[in-house]
Each structure stands twice: as C-alpha cells, then as structure tokens.
Amino acid sequence: MDAPLIELSGVVKSFGPVSVLKGVDLKAYPGKVTALVGDNGAGKSTLIKGLAGVQPYDGGTVRFDGKPVALHHPRDASRLGIEVVYQDLALCDNLDIVQNMFLGREETEFGTFDEGVMEKEASDTLRSLSVRTVKSVRQKVSSLSGGQRQTVAIARAVLKNARLVILDEPTAALGVAQTEQVLHLVRRLADQGVAVILISHNLADVFEVADHIDVLYLGQMVAHLDADQTSRDDVVGYITGAKVQQGASA
C-alpha cells in the first residue's frame, strides 16, 4: 500500500474537563476514500475541525506527506491542500457557479476580474469531475438542486490543487438519484489521486464508495477496516460500542 497522505497519531482534544478526542489515529491515502463513521458525539466534527485548522488539536502529531505539520489556522490547511466541504455547503445563492467557486480567490488583472480565466477553470474542473447535470457555469446557485449544489461545493474545494478533501455528510439532504450522483463524484475525486475523507451516517453510502472505514467511538478510534473485508453488521457493532477491534486504538 502507498504511504498515507495524512497521518494522525495520538491526537487529543478536550474542551475544559470534557475530553473529546482521546488519542486518535487516522490515515488517508491518495486515491482512496476513507470513510469516517461514528455515532453522534463520537468526535467526528472535532477531528475534522482540527484538520481544517479551525480548532487546533491539543496534542498528538499530524504528518502530511510524511512530514510533521502544524495546523493552527485555516490558512495552514489550505496551504497544504486540505479542503473541507461542510454540511451546510456555504454557497452564496445570489452568485453564479463561477463566482462561488472563486469566492475569496478571484483571478484578477489590473485589480479587475478576469472572468474568462475563472470561467474556463471552473468549467474545466467541473468537466474533470465528469459533471453533466449543470447546464451553464453562469447559472445562479439559487437555481440549482441539492445535488448540484453539493457538486459545486466539491468542485470549489478541488479547484486549487486540493490533495485532501474532507466531505462532511455530503448526501445527508439528498434524494436517491442525487445521492448516487454525488457518490460518483466522490469516487471520481479519489480516482484523480485526491485523498478523500468521507463523513457519513449512511452505511449504504459508505459501503458503496469507501475503500477504508474508520470507526470513532467516544473519542477513540475503535476500528480501521477495509471496506471489502467487513460487513455492515460489524461496522454497526463498532459504532455502537458492541464490538472492539483488537489493537485498533493507540
């Protein structure tokens, strides 16, 4: 197996007396989808916020490309190519797809927008993800369906050399067909060599798309599983704490 793109070991985080992450290990590999599952309160969000640099960890080491890195600020994360697509997507309804994808990092020439360059890059990115549901990149986001919005949010994340994309419940609000579309997109993202961490409650989605499944239980990583060598019942067992994998947690 390849070397992991990102490797967390012994990560801890507590809020006052409440210890949320109690020494967590996590690896994500380029070209692979790593699903992060766990019940509410298991610490998934805290783990992700640490990776995004929004809420730095208290302790433990983070290695990126094998080198130890510090993630103290969102800037640190984006410099490394870590992008997070949050559940609420954070898109501006009143702007079009190109404007949303480039928000905060517009291409300018003499201080004014170079719309052509942005439009080209946006549609190239969408094409590279084989997006075929979007009619025009100049559509307002308000006119898009839930699945299309998710698509735009993901395309926005990979626009600028993303190497690790973290997706927080990307299918939670979607219907069946749109869920399918987004899962294809997640798969294609990985096929392009991006390391993907997928957070989901929906085990059917997880089994459809993930290569690895990591289970978080009350702040501890209780299982690292290969998706094709485990079963839904096993995963549920780990999530609910009924099962514990030997030697999974450091």
Stretch that binds another protein, among 15-23, 65-73, 180-188, 239-247 (CB under 8 A): 180-188
117 or 250: whose CB is closer to another protein?
A: 117
Closest distance of CB 11 from another protein, Å? 23
C-alpha 81/C-alpha 160 separation (Å) is 8
Among 24, 48, 82, 137, binds another protein (CB under 8 A): 137
Residues 194-213 that bind another protein (CB under 8 A): 194
Closest distance of CB 114 from another protein, Å? 6
158 binds another protein (CB under 8 A): yes
Residues 5-44 that bind another protein (CB under 8 A): none
229 binds another protein (CB under 8 A): no
C-alpha 27/C-alpha 113 separation (Å) is 39
Q: Measuring CA to CA, how many Å separate 7 from each of 19, 25, 27, 62, 233?
A: 21, 7, 5, 6, 27
Q: Which residues is 13 bridged to in the sheet? A: 21
C-alpha 52/C-alpha 57 separation (Å) is 11
137 alpha-carbon distance from chain centroid: 23
Q: What mask, x for binding another protein by CB under 8 A, covers residues 72 to 111?
A: --x-----------x-xxxxxxxx---xx--xxxx-xx-x
Encoding tokens for residue 160?
């600028």
240 binds another protein (CB under 8 A): no
Q: Measuring CA to CA, how many Å separate 150 from each of 75, 119, 144?
A: 23, 19, 10
Among 72, 73, 79, 135, binds another protein (CB under 8 A): 135
Contact 21, 12 (CB under 8 A): yes
C-alpha 116/C-alpha 124 separation (Å) is 12
Among 192, 204, 231, 233, binds another protein (CB under 8 A): 192
Q: Return the exposure string of 8-20: e unless at least 16 CB atoms fall within 10 Å of the residue's CB, then b.
A: beebbbeeeeeeb
113 binds another protein (CB under 8 A): yes
Among 191, 204, 226, 231, binds another protein (CB under 8 A): 191
C-alpha 18/C-alpha 49 separation (Å) is 17
123 binds another protein (CB under 8 A): yes
Which chain residues interact with another protein by CB under 8 A? 74, 86, 88-95, 99-100, 103-106, 108-109, 111-117, 119-121, 123-128, 130-132, 134-140, 142-143, 158-163, 183-184, 187-188, 190-194
